[in-house]
């Protein structure tokens, strides 16, 4: 829990400025801060709590040519970045962080009003350099892992998304080559086959993107991320994008938890 200080105190202002600067300068968030011990707090333990339960799955590619390199990065204490899982090209699944812990994989991000995506998500890295198709064995392992995760958490099916969706000004993973349709066909994420039916008159694309989860404060970046995820390398017009967004909103309302 973030410590509370009087608004007028200089230490509070200095701490906020330092924290914002660090968040804007780094891809991964700072580790959780220890609670302050100077406050007069009476501690009475309650048995009424449980562990963190993720509500999103965030997919990444490592940007490297070998799983060993990605593993080194994700386990290096000086890099301050991690993920819950890494899946190699050969389909081997590595668990790096316990699911009930907060891994540092999203960085400065936003999705559906959530600004601390790390606290709400499980992060899965896929061993891929970003310029190549994803291996069949790797995607099969990902589908099996998602099904296994679904046995423990009622995550909405629409909440399997990419790093670019939550951080579109900084990230483009898991890249244009990622097979989102294959995942959606298995119940993980959203997809609409082109061309969908036209959107109704007056349909607002920017409002629709916000309803899907994209950050309305950066509309052009949000639209770019939307195209990267759902259009990929297919040329489209704005009317086609409106139709696609309308279709996806309907799918989002229908898709069940996995």
Find the Cα–Cα–Cα–Cα dihedral 156, 196, 222, 234, rounded to 10°: 120
Rounded CA separation 60/172 (Å): 9
| DSSP run (H or E) holding 185 | helix 180-185
Helix (H, G, I), strand (E, B) or coil at 180: helix
Cβ-proximal residues to 111 (8 Å cutoff; 6+ apart), any chain:
56, 117, 120, 161, 165, 166, 213, 214, 215
Q: Taking a C-beta distance cutoff of 8 angstroms, is the pair 184, 252 a contact?
A: no
CA R_g for the chain: 20
- In DSSP notation, 17-45 reads HHHHHHHHH-SSPPPPPPPPSSS------
Helix (H, G, I), strand (E, B) or coil at 79: coil
Q: Catalytic residue numbers?
A: 125
């Amino acid at each position: 829990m973030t410590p509370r200080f009087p608004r007028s105190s200089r230490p509070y202002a200095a701490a906020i400025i330092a924290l914002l600067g660090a968040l804007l300068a780094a891809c991964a968030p700072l580790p959780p801060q220890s609670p302050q011990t100077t406050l007069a707090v009476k501690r009475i333990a309650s048995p009424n709590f449980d562990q963190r339960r993720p509500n999103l799955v965030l997919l990444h590619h490592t940007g490297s040519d070998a799983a060993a390199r990605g593993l080194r990065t994700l386990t290096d204490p000086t890099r301050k970045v991690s993920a819950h899982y890494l899946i190699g090209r050969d389909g081997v699944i590595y668990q790096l962080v316990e699911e009930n812990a907060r891994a540092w994989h999203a960085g400065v991000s936003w999705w559906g009003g959530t600004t601390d995506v790390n606290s709400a998500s499980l992060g899965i890295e896929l061993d891929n350099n970003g310029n190549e198709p994803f291996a069949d064995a790797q995607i099969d392992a990902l589908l099996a892992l998602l099904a296994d995760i679904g046995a423990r958490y009622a995550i909405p099916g629409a909440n399997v998304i990419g790093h670019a969706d939550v951080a579109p000004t900084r990230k483009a993973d898991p890249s244009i080559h990622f097979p989102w349709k294959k995942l959606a066909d298995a119940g993980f994420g959203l997809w609409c086959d082109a061309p969908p039916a036209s959107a109704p008159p007056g349909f607002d694309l920017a409002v629709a993107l916000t309803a899907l989860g994209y950050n309305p404060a950066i509309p052009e970046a949000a639209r770019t991320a939307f195209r990267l995820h759902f259009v990929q390398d297919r040329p489209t017009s704005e009317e086609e994008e409106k139709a696609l967004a309308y279709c996806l909103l309907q799918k989002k309302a229908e898709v069940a938890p996995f």
